Structure 1
Amino acid sequence: MTPRNLSLAVLLAAALSFTLPTRLPAQPAETVVDVELVIAVDISMSMDAKEQRLQREGYVAAFRDPRVINAIASGLHQRIAVAFVEWAGTATQNLVLDWTLVDGPDAAAELAARLEALPFTRARRTSISGAIGFSAGLFENSGFRGLKRVIDVSGDGPNNQGERVTAARDRAVAQGIVINGLPFLTAPASYFAYFDIADLDLYYADCVIGGPGAFIVPVRDPSEFATAIRQKLVLEIAGPLPAREAANEPRVPCDIGERIWRMRMDGP
């Protein structure tokens, strides 16, 4: 090879070394599921011990219920992924059960047992917007790819801390997430009742939930907890639901929680 040809070969090899694609490390494959579901439960101080216990028992019973198992089995992939979040004010959003694959009765029973063993905790204030924002972020690295992504928010009062709940809702819906609600209209008379509202079901319907087929299942009596939770899970898993008609204007002001907090704490 002449010196000239040798120089051309060296230049060509150098050019190829810059243009050949670099082999990237293999990325872990996402498991396809019918639903990625974040269950976000209220542990604010307004939730008394009885409400917390009934709420927990309702979810434990639901994942042991044949109707929920059958709903999972009816899906295209016959499996869902579930994460469990406890929330209160802006400083309290805790992932207490990380993403878990539920693909049959054994996996569902194991999830129920883990949930049943969790300790009860309580914290101050109510930030539904914080719960939605935190829960929405969990989908990014869940390890799953759901045909539906759902946040299921339960609680017994309106948002009174953090950003406006409608802003958090709209941002999550824009990411393709459906938000459903389980409002508790069962609060006992107490100091915290000063921060409750009578029409919490309308507040959840108009200010909290969003996305195609979003719905609420109100709990109006403590005896309804288990039935409502089971019904909600079956609907979320086995949907889709028909699109709902949104109210032209919220029937309850979406900042009512913040207004009540300011009035009670700061005076008129």
Structure 2
Amino acid sequence: MKKLLPLACAAFVSNACISNALAVTVHTELVLLADVSGSVNQIEYDLQKTGYVNAFQSSEVVSAIASVGSIAVTYVEWSGKNQQAQLVNWSMISNAQEASNFASAINNTSRSFYNMTAPGSAITYATNLFGTETGGSSNGFESNFQIIDISGDGLKNNGQNVGSATSNALSQGVDKINGLPIGNATIANYYGDQIVAGEGAFYMSAYQFADIEDSLVKKLAGEITGTTPEGANTPTPAAAPPADVAAVPVPAAAWLFGSAMTGLALVGRRRNTHKSES
């Protein structure tokens, strides 16, 4: 009977377990979220895509990958709440040729959307792409670090609450959400306050689309090596929830305690009043 038990157990091994056993181990899994909402015109779209292409062919990024051994990366375009497209599937990169192949794959993509701006929905979509580390089906890779890298040139006007999306991403296993805000200080501050999350997370500003390539090279190299690049901003945690995050209701027990203390104070005040009257 004991001899048959392992065979019986083996018969119930799930596909997920088999997938985990076959998963390739890399240092970092990285989801690239590229904003293609309506505020990104065709010239800006081309500059952004070219920035990603050239960044993965740069010596800085290739050297960063070599220093950690290997990474797995996927390229996603996003716009409105139900508009996310994984245009380049998960790809392992461990050398210059594989990095160049990934860059070519990005270069061969076509624009997916041209609509609203829903960064929260994009972050949720990205969270589910990591596979077993965030509670989903295997994506073929396992890693020490799972990082979301999101670019954008506008504020949320559609889709999921950003604060909820970032909080859920971290609770599900994402290590960092780093940002590439494109534009003025308002956009940069929005990314710093509401999107960037996780220990050691940062954002690297590009003041115009022509600056994306330089910012991306520094940003990707820092993400891969686990360092904060020169010129990056590391936001400090806010004392109060950001505007897009619903305030946490006071627990019932705390409310009852507060009510009880208020009642005791009133009783004491009445006793003192009676003493003074007598």
TM-score (norm 2): 0.76
SS of aligned partner of 1:148: strand
% same residue: 32
SS of aligned partner of 2:10: coil
Tell me if 1:107 matches 2:94: no
Q: CA deviation at 1:117?
A: 1.1
1:224 aligned partner: 211
CA RMSD of aligned residues (A): 2.3
Tell me if 1:236 matches 2:227: no
Deviation sequence 1:144-196 (CA, Å, 0-9, x none): 1111100101111111112210000000011231100001106xxxxxxxxxx
Q: CA deviation at 1:39?
A: 0.1
SS of aligned partner of 1:180: strand
8 Å Cα contact 1:217/1:228 also seen in 2: yes
2:35 aligned partner: 42
Q: CA deviation at 1:245?
A: 2.7
Q: CA deviation at 1:221?
A: 2.7
For residues 234 and 18 of structure 1, what CA distance do their matches in structure 2 show?
A: 50
Q: CA deviation at 1:246?
A: 1.6
For residues 93 and 121 of structure 1, what CA distance do their matches in structure 2 show?
A: 8
More helix by share: 2
Q: CA deviation at 1:27?
A: 1.0
Q: Which amino acid aligns with 1:73?
A: A
For residues 203 and 226 of structure 1, what CA distance do their matches in structure 2 show?
A: 21
8 Å Cα contact 2:178/2:202 also seen in 1: yes
Gaps of 5+ in 2: 132-137, 246-278
Q: Of residues 147, 151, 154 in structure 2, which corresponds to 1:150?
A: 147
Mean Cα displacement is larger for which, 233-242 or 88-97?
233-242
Superposed, which structure 2 residues align to 1:92-103 within 5 Å? 92-103=83-94
Superposed, which structure 2 residues align to 1:26-175 within 5 Å? 27-28=18-19, 29-75=22-68, 78-140=69-131, 141-175=138-172
Q: CA deviation at 1:244?
A: 5.5
SS of aligned partner of 1:22: helix
1:193 aligned partner: none
Q: Which amino acid aligns with 1:104?
A: N
- Structure 1 runs (4+) greater than 6 angstroms displaced: none
Residue 110 and residue 248 in structure 1: after superposition, are their counterparts in 2 closer, same or farther (change >3 A)? same
Residue 16 and residue 82 in structure 1: after superposition, are their counterparts in 2 closer, same or farther (change >3 A)? closer
Q: CA deviation at 1:126?
A: 0.9
Residue 235 and residue 17 in structure 1: after superposition, are their counterparts in 2 closer, same or farther (change >3 A)? closer
2:183 aligned partner: 185
